[in-house]
Structure 1
Amino acid sequence: MAREKVIGPSSGDDERKQHDAALRPKLLKEVIGQRKVAERLEIAVRASQKLNEPLGHILFDGPPGLGKTTFATVLPNELGTSIQMTSGPALSKPADLLPFLTNLEEGSVLFIDEIHRMPRVVEEFIYPAMEDFRIDIVLGEGMSARTITYSLKRFTLIGATTRSGMLSGPMRDRFKMHEHLEFYSVEELATIIRINSGKLNTPITESAARELARRSRGTPRVANSRLHWTRSYSAAKHDGSISEPIAKAALDMAEVDSDGLDKNDRRYLEILIDLYGGGPTGVEALAATINLASDTLSDEIEPYLLREQYITRSPRGRVAMPRAYTALGKLPPRPKPDDKQGSLFE
């Protein structure tokens, strides 16, 4: 199995990461969903082993919680090598990359989460490392400056991003594979929930697993969070097992409705409809009103609302769709004959 090294500061909720790591698959054959992606990665891994070459650099993109980090940790296990992990915000200057690059082993993996948040100067520093497995270190300044070239072990860079469009063209071009991860079906999420409940020694019925899956926004990370909460609810109020009535009661208490919308989703839709008349409204205005970062809205809340047609994006901003009004128990407005947005409600 891969030997995981984490050097430098990390970001995110440590408790959530521990839960995710405990439930995360170890091999490609254990991954549920994203089958086309897994099959292409399996081909790349087998080719790397037969050709005795490092795996080509890989970029994963897609909304949060769909398995980018899971694939990044599974691949070193398949290759029998080590992995070092960091994130774009932790790499503010080229010197921050040096401990990672100089500690690389032959064929090992360097994983950079939120790679789109790396400063451009760090991007440019890593170009020769990705292409020629070397880095150029400048010593001194002005006329006395000199450059030392340091050779690196051959390695694989795996990047994960929720916003691949924010990466520069030269950076994207240096990845041999670019894989976009899609939302999961209810059946796939129910399978993940059943497997992970087994890992947690928590009995769960088939109908309960499907109920949790239906309310998990097509996202494994959300499904795991829903499972952990329901498990805690059952342990506190029942015998620790999860039936469909227990699952419904637990999620109702967590303010997760039957469509998987949570209180932040409903707050978003309420403000868009009640305060801004259904839009169009810019994301910055919505973020300021909700008191959340615009990145949080764009990366975590909006992808599901867009996919399920609660909202749409127009050139002038976000617009509430008929399903958003229905979810809040409101009637969609009747379009005026000259209303340019009228076609959205026909």
Structure 2
Amino acid sequence: MNKLLVNTPLRCTRIGVDKAGLAADFLRRKGGGVMDMIAHFWDRLSQTPPLARGDLHLVIVWQPPKNSPDNSPLIPDGPQILSASGAMLFVPKAKRADVFALDHVSSDLLASYISQWQPDTPRIPSPTSTSPMDPPDKALPTNGESSTLQFITGEALGVQAMLPSLLASAHRKAPAKVVTNVMMQLGPATTPALSPRVRKARDGDGAILNRWRKMYKEERGILFDADVDAWIESGKVYVCQHESQIVAVAKFDLELATMVEIGGVYTFPEFRRHGFGRELVSDLACRIRTDKKIPVLQVDVDNEAALRIYQSAGWNVMGRLVRVWITAV
């Protein structure tokens, strides 16, 4: 992360949801692929019904023209949004935020925006904030609940720089839970291969898929949707079968215009150390490549063995995505 001078003229500004597509393009241009999945959801913000837009705080950290008065009502245009140094979607009602910041000053400004937001005053009608460190638009209280942020996700360095301020606001010394994943994509020089042992999950695989779901939760802390029949019908879950036994499972997660994420990769304990998981991932990556898209996946930052295996198989590190539960899991 870059370090800027404290007196930098950066400005933190809330912009209209109609500019969400530009903010999403900023994430894609500057995020190195780490923020592409979040950008996918930001692209859809413009479809939010007008009455619900007041709950969406789309915030940009940007540099206004030189010699601009500190309190001038400036709104960033398209090029200024694309050249921003930070962006955030803050949803007070949901107590969550998606964040991307390129430097510590931007992280501090975004954290201050969240900390200064108060739920106990009438809403300011203007959809745009304009001062250098603008007090955020305020909303009516929701059932008397606290406005403390509960969940934040984004590129790891930017989020980590915000945590001291956010934890102080929540009167906590440490977050309730932190999950940091290394984002990886298959290198262009690597050629994945289809495997005759890999097939789509089908009727009759329900019991093994339920076992996959249960054991993945026990080992990784992530619980998949319980509708196994829907998984099978979707055609996005694949299994690796060896000698009539299913030995590994994986699925296609989010599918974007240019990339597809492989997720839920799991080899059952009794079949590990035989390369089945690697074979399954290679097969799925080959299917993605056939569709002219980029295969990507996430690996727990502490899973050093898996990171070594993927890197030896030609997967390159894009960056780190972190999910932080500040007050609740």
- How does the TM-score come out when normalised to structure 2? 0.32
Q: TM-score, normalised by structure 1?
A: 0.31
Higher relative contact order (CA 8 A, sep 6+): 2
Q: Give the structure with higher Rg (CA).
A: 1
